[in-house]
């Protein structure tokens, strides 16, 4: 498999699924049929009864999804509970607006933060089993994490400026309050999970007024938090500072991914041991997409990367968690009034087995939200081009339609709809991408082109995969594009009288691009006295021309008319013989 192409010159897209008011519709290529050993990509959408969004927690043990509203008023006093099918199955009452959430390592307890303290719920009975008062109640939202068998939360003890004042990191053990002493300016984001049960990740947000926000980790295995590596990302000129929107840890705990809205690639992939850049980075998000969320599948196979984008630009990429894996990503573009327009910050979460991805989308105004339950394909199969490419006609001609013919072979289940292949033409003018075409049921295809330049050209044909098939290795064909042929037709009298003169008419035609204007054809006359050049014949816009001549001798007189050709057309000649009488 060509590992270079998939995220480079040609966008590697398994499918771009546009979620519109009419539902889920596949654009390029269509969704494949259900595989024999599992489902293909699907999407279920539920409208959320919230006008702002704070956090989502996925409980794979009990198959529940918990969602909190970030609205800071008395009406937002519950945690919304959904099942894995996207149906609301209940709610957890809170005394005031909840914000952060964290699940215990064994999924038996859900911790929910509100302005006055930390609530604890039993995830089986859905009943509240505990409450810990925090330092102060000022209405600011709190982030939550669970690491080292303890709950950790942020605290901003000020009545104004929740995003810009100093924030402390505290914790609870049972009902006992833990003051860690760690604090920093601005709102702090926490991330934890069963991938690294003793690790707590903390990031300073870009709203802090801090020109170079930090990212750090803590070891929570002991009685006190021990800070690990810390990293700031701006260079000496202040460029590249962190704008964190989400944090995720890989299934094996070795990597930390950061959704960084300021980073050119959108997602930073770091070595968890020292926060250095991972040896291989993820490919950049599509142009125009700003990173908003990231989540690793619990089975370690996939990573989901969320973004805010407009129109048909993808807002969500689902791809192999290993960035060195060249398998194409599954891309979603949310642009419907009933499905949201973008992935909300921190709006992604996976089931433990990687069979479901939960995504929270929002509209441009940020006052409506939706929950999507997405099922990525259960299996993918290989694909390949067989044989060699050929052209129709056999000799490519500049300005003339050309077909590049080949055949694609697919393993595994056949797609319900024809797959698409694309091609790029490379010549002296650079690269030009051709329109994609559908392959026939037997895999044969013909990509169409109209070469615009005489000389050598190379066609590279690609299949970037679909929801059940991996991309095929590119196949190439080198051709020499010839000039387009021209032809001259003449209409001359069989006989003429010397003293009366004669008239010959004709037409110049050419294939490919239109012939240039202002063409003058050469005219030579050959008789028994020899060969001489006559006045050139101008060609009208419709290709016609007229030659008038007064022969100088009787007998057979031959007229040869010639076109010298141009950059795109070959030369051509035609002749006519007239018997001249005295």
What is the residue-wise DSSP string for 271-332?
ETTT-PBPSSPPPPPPTT-EEEEEEE-TTSSEEEEEEE--TTS-SEEEEESSTT--PPEEEE
SS3 content of the chain, % helix, strand, coil (to 5): 0, 55, 45
Q: Domain spanning 486-581: which CATH class is it, in words?
A: mainly beta
Helix (H, G, I), strand (E, B) or coil at 6: helix
- Residue in the block written with tokens 């956090």: 55
Q: Measured between alpha carbons, how far is 430 from 425 in angstroms, rounded to an integer? A: 8
Q: Measured between alpha carbons, how far is 539 from 517 in angstroms, rounded to an integer? A: 8
* Contact of 195 with 253, CB cutoff 8 Å: yes
Kindly report, as residue ranges, where domains of CATH 2.60.40.10 are found in the chain. Answer: 383-481
* Neighbour tally for 101: CB within 10 Å: 24
Q: Domain spanning 12-375: which CATH class is it, in words?
A: mainly beta
Q: Environment class of residue 410 by beta-carbon count within 10 Å: exposed (0-12), middle (13-18) or buried (19+)?
A: buried
Q: Measured between alpha carbons, how far is 91 from 80 in angstroms, rounded to an integer? A: 5
Q: Which mean pLDDT values do the consecutive 10-residue runs of the chain (582 residues) have? A: 25 32 27 30 83 94 93 75 96 89 96 88 94 69 92 82 85 80 91 95 86 96 94 92 96 96 94 97 94 94 93 88 84 81 96 93 93 78 93 96 96 81 95 94 95 96 80 93 97 96 97 94 96 96 97 96 96 97 92
φ, ψ at 146 (rounded to 5°): -130, 115
Q: Measured between alpha carbons, how far is 464 from 443 in angstroms, rounded to an integer? A: 15
Kindly report, as residue ranges, where domains of CATH 2.60.40.730 are found in the chain. Answer: 486-581
Q: Measured between alpha carbons, how far is 215 from 199 in angstroms, rounded to an integer? A: 13
Annotation: CATH topology of 383-481: Immunoglobulin-like (2.60.40)
Q: Measured between alpha carbons, how far is 273 from 553 in angstroms, rounded to an integer? A: 101
Tokens of 452: 């615009």
Q: Is the dihedral of CA 513, 517, 518, 523 positive or negative?
A: positive
Beta strands in 342-399 (DSSP E): 342-350, 357-362, 369-375, 383-392
Q: Describe the strand order of the beta sheet including 495-497 as a list of residue ranges.
A: 495-497, 572-581, 555-563, 520-527, 530-538
- The DSSP code for 321 is S
> Which pLDDT value is given to residue 159?
63
Q: pTM surpassing 0.85?
A: no
**Burial letters for 352-376: b for 16+ Cβ neighbours within 10 Å, e otherwise?**
bebbbbbbbbbbeeeebbbbbbbbb
* Contact of 433 with 487, CB cutoff 8 Å: no
Tokens of 532: 């001489």
* Contact of 360 with 70, CB cutoff 8 Å: no
β-strands 244-249, 176-185: how paired? unpaired
* Neighbour tally for 49: CB within 10 Å: 12
- Residue in the block written with tokens 């519109």: 20
Tokens of 514: 């239109």
* Contact of 92 with 66, CB cutoff 8 Å: yes
> Which pLDDT value is given to residue 75?
62
- For the chain, the distance separating the N- and C-terminal CA atoms, rounded to the nearest angstrom, is 80
Radius of gyration of the chain (CA): 35
Tokens of 12: 């590697």
């Amino acid at each position: 498999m060509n590992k270079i192409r998939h995220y480079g010159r040609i966008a590697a897209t398994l499918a771009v699924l546009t979620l519109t008011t009419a539902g889920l519709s596949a654009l390029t290529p269509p969704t494949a049929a259900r595989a024999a050993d599992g489902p293909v990509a699907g999407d279920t959408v539920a409208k959320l009864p919230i006008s702002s969004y704070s956090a989502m927690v996925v409980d794979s043990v009990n198959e529940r999804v918990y969602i909190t509203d970030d609205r800071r008023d008395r009406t937002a006093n519950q945690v919304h509970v959904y099942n894995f099918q996207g149906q609301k199955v209940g709610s957890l009452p809170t005394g005031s607006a909840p914000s952060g959430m964290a699940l215990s390592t064994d999924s038996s307890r859900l911790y929910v933060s509100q302005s006055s303290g930390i609530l604890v719920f039993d995830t089986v009975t859905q009943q509240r089993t505990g409450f810990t008062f925090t330092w102060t109640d000022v209405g600011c939202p709190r982030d939550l994490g669970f690491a080292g068998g303890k709950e950790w939360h942020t605290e901003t003890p000020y009545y104004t400026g929740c995003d810009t004042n100093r924030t402390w990191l505290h914790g609870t053990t049972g009902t006992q309050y833990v003051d860690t002493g760690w604090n920093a300016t601005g709102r702090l984001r926490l991330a934890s999970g069963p991938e690294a049960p003793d690790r707590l990740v903390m990031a300073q947000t870009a709203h802090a007024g801090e020109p170079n926000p930090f990212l750090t980790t803590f070891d929570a295995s002991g009685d006190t938090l021990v800070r690990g590596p810390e990293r700031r990302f701006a260079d000496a000129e202040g460029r590249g500072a962190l704008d964190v929107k989400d944090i995720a840890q890989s299934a094996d705990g070795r990597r930390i991914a950061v959704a960084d809205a300021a980073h050119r690639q959108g997602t930073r992939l770091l070595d968890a041991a020292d926060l250095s850049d991972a040896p291989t980075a993820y490919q950049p998000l599509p142009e125009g997409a700003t990173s908003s969320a990231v989540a690793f599948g619990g089975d370690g196979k996939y990573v989901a990367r969320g973004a805010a984008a407009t129109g048909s630009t993808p807002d969500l990429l689902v791809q192999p968690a290993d960035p060195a894996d060249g398998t194409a990503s599954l891309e979603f573009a949310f642009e419907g009034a009933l499905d949201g327009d973008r992935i909300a910050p921190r709006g992604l979460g996976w089931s433990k087995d990687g069979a479901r991805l939960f995504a929270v989308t929002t509209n441009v105004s940020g006052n409506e939200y939706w929950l999507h339950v997405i099922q990525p394909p259960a299996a993918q199969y290989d694909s390949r081009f067989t044989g060699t490419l050929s052209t129709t006609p056999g000799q490519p001609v500049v300005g003339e339609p050309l077909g590049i013919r080949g055949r694609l072979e697919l393993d595994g289940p056949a797609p319900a709809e024809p797959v698409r292949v694309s091609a790029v033409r490379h010549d002296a003018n650079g690269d030009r991408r051709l329109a994609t075409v559908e392959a026939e049921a037997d895999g044969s295809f013909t990509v169409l082109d109209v070469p615009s330049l005489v000389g050598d050209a190379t066609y590279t044909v690609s299949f970037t995969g679909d929801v059940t098939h991996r991309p095929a290795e590119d196949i190439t064909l080198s051709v020499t594009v010839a000039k387009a042929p021209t032809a001259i037709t003449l209409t001359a009298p069989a006989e003429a009288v010397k003293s009366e003169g004669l008239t010959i008419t004709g037409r110049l035609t050419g294939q490919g691009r239109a012939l240039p204007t202002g063409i003058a054809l050469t005219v030579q006359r050959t008789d028994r006295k020899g060969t001489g050049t006559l006045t050139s014949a101008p060609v009208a816009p419709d290709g016609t021309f007229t030659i008038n001549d007064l022969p100088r001798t009787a007998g057979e007189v031959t007229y040869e008319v010639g076109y010298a050709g141009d950059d795109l057309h070959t030369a051509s000649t035609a002749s006519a013989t007239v018997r001249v009488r005295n």
